Structure 1
């Protein structure tokens, strides 16, 4: 029986309830639960093309599927074409699929799949898990049954933090347990725990039985005051392909309200009233306005400030560097990462993963004295 996910102080608990209707992951893929042999699996597939993936509930790691249709039969090939691999031949049933799985050695196991049905989530479920339940049932089922382990308590800049980790993936992040108002703390912690579970999902999506993979994540609080808070999540991953990747993601909060902050909330150099674009990022008019602002107003202004503040670092040095980062070009600075520090906002330029080393700039800080001259849309008490 499938069970709902509910979060209590960093632990995912299981709750039995009545089932909802069968689930679609999106407009093209369907999610099924069932068995391969006697082993429980969860499978997501586009029944028209056969493209999809599945995982054994015990291991939770993706196995990629590619497929074809032979009449009503769905033929799914597992893995890539570089080595012999298992396949499934499935016939439709009133509630799913039935057929056989065969590996390269000729071993045959029966496959029985039914459309996934999930229990309604309890009222106090973490909002991120509610979103998975409603929109991405495959990922919700992957996390089903996982529990977070309570770790150490830390004092950072006068605020008490409680660390949590997921043992299988070793992904960890903290909650704030003292120092802010109850409402702000709840909002901040919901977003921190959502990011922890996103990291767990990323770990399992990266894992692959056919290729050596690596997914390491480190979380670090960077700055906490009565007004603002920043933490950085650094991910070092190799999920197949020719190159590994390094990524630093910052979470920035208004400590008074617990709301997430965008760069425009803090710093605005455009005309008129500051706008909060990312809140409506999936609306075409909003995303276009955001893109126009970043390329036409923000980036030229930022380049001018960085060239004035850091002329040596911003000067191209192709004669001394085999792979010059060209910090004086516009592209890296249109959509930088950022977080609060003691002296100002630290900006991290954006580069493709093939030039990930260029993201590591220790110098690119905009001082608070400059930021206060161009306040964003949220009133903040900055140093």
Structure 2
């Protein structure tokens, strides 16, 4: 699974299909129906006849089961397993596409066989009353959206942080949790902020399921710790730290904080907060249309921001920013590790987390790498913010 934790990547999928054509240009299909008497939801990528991939879940259990196989004409032969699984004992799914665009076939395993009936219907987009974030997830993957409609959040613990009451909510199957703020902001502010927090919770549920799918051969792990760092009239800032094993060569971990403008509820980019480039600050978001290009964003981070941040950290933390004694030591003087740092607000300043190669991952998240607000305020970003003194 591509889990580079700028939040575990969500694959963009479409559910368009030309009638009676298995290999349409947009060849990801979302089907609903039954396996035996059990309702299921199926996603199939039919781009390649030699390498059909997919997944499905029982509506009762919600867990992804991987599919891989081949197609020939209007017939599919699939194995319930990942593409590199060669075990002959794995369940088989044989499907045929009928003239009315429905699919019928059989699922078989260990001498048992069940009829399968599927159809591809238009999936209604979530309306304004839907859970926050479901609209975006629907656009990314109708399959993931359908799973969310079968999940229920449960109220968890209550806590107080910086004078604000926090009500935690958990999705029991994934273990993913997030808080909402129930006091300390106006009802309008709280509604905007909590919408972002709830949206992030659902995105993490999607990431959990993607991780478990890729780790389905040997089992995986996905454990998160959400930590509020700053709640002020101007800022909401928290960390979402994830330890995960999604079937790769090694387990991994990383922090993907969420920083919000409390007055508007909008998510902040680093350039919204601090700017050391020429001209007006830009607001870069991945996959945005008509905005700043990644090349422009990357060029600014590498040539302007990272060298500046190294100089500021050397001034603020000279002992910690000394050049390493050996190649095995953490080299915090290397600007490249600060080009795309994690970051969040604290009472004393902004905490930056460098990004190292996996073999040096222990060098990440140092406790000392906080830049005082006096430095940040001298280089304001594109959003007018009320920062702590």
- TM-score, with normalisation over the residues of structure 2? 0.86
CA contact (8 A) 2:15 2:28 kept: no
Secondary structure at 2:219's aligned position in 1? Answer: coil
1:83 matched to 2:87? yes
1:69 corresponds to which of 71, 92, 102: 71
Write out per-residue CA displacement over residues 132-158 of structure 1, whole angstroms, 9 at most, x where no aligned residue: 234411001111221111122222101
2:383 corresponds to which of 354, 365, 378: 378
1:303 matched to 2:302? no
1:264 matched to 2:271? yes
Distance change >3 Å, CA 277–CA 210, structure 1 → 2:
closer
1:169 corresponds to which of 152, 163, 174: 174
Distance change >3 Å, CA 296–CA 181, structure 1 → 2:
same
Cα distance in 2 between the residues matched to 1:354 and 1:82:
31
Q: Residue in 2 aligned with 1:56?
A: 58
Q: Residue in 2 aligned with 1:126?
A: 131
2:16 corresponds to which of 10, 13, 24: 24
Secondary structure at 1:193's aligned position in 2? Answer: helix
1:251-290 equivalences in 2 (<5 Å) = 251-278=258-285, 281-283=288-290, 285-290=292-297
- Structure 2 residue runs of 5 or longer lacking an equivalent are 1-13, 18-24
Shift of 1:285: 4.7
CA contact (8 A) 1:265 1:376 kept: yes
1:338 matched to 2:349? no
Q: Residue in 2 aligned with 1:101?
A: 107
Shift of 1:352: 4.1
CA contact (8 A) 1:184 1:259 kept: no
CA contact (8 A) 1:91 1:97 kept: yes
Comparing 157-166 with 70-79, greater Cα deviation is found at 70-79
Cα distance in 2 between the residues matched to 1:65 and 1:121:
27
Shift of 1:353: 4.3
1:313 corresponds to which of 307, 320, 340: 320
What is the alpha-carbon root mean square deviation over aligned residues? 2.3
Cα distance in 2 between the residues matched to 1:182 and 1:288:
40
Q: Residue in 2 aligned with 1:46?
A: 45
1:214-293 equivalences in 2 (<5 Å) = 214-278=221-285, 281-283=288-290, 285-293=292-300
Distance change >3 Å, CA 236–CA 279, structure 1 → 2:
closer
Shift of 1:299: 1.1
Shift of 1:59: 2.1
Comparing 44-53 with 138-147, greater Cα deviation is found at 44-53
1:130-141 equivalences in 2 (<5 Å) = 130-141=135-146
Secondary structure at 2:266's aligned position in 1? Answer: coil
Cα distance in 2 between the residues matched to 1:120 and 1:305:
47
Shift of 1:205: 2.1
Cα distance in 1 between the residues matched to 2:15 and 2:241:
34
- Structure 1 residue runs of 5 or longer lacking an equivalent are 1-21
Secondary structure at 2:256's aligned position in 1? Answer: strand
Distance change >3 Å, CA 281–CA 135, structure 1 → 2:
closer
1:324 matched to 2:316? no
User: What is the aligned residue count?
Assistant: 359
CA contact (8 A) 1:280 1:286 kept: no
Cα distance in 2 between the residues matched to 1:249 and 1:48:
33
Q: Residue in 2 aligned with 1:204?
A: 209
CA contact (8 A) 1:243 1:354 kept: no
Distance change >3 Å, CA 24–CA 211, structure 1 → 2:
farther
Q: Residue in 2 aligned with 1:10?
A: none
Q: Residue in 2 aligned with 1:357?
A: 362
Shift of 1:279: 7.5
Shift of 1:203: 1.9
Distance change >3 Å, CA 281–CA 294, structure 1 → 2:
farther
Shift of 1:284: 7.2
Cα distance in 2 between the residues matched to 1:193 and 1:296:
36
Cα distance in 2 between the residues matched to 1:353 and 1:32:
38
Shift of 1:316: 4.2
CA contact (8 A) 1:48 1:69 kept: no
Shift of 1:129: 0.7
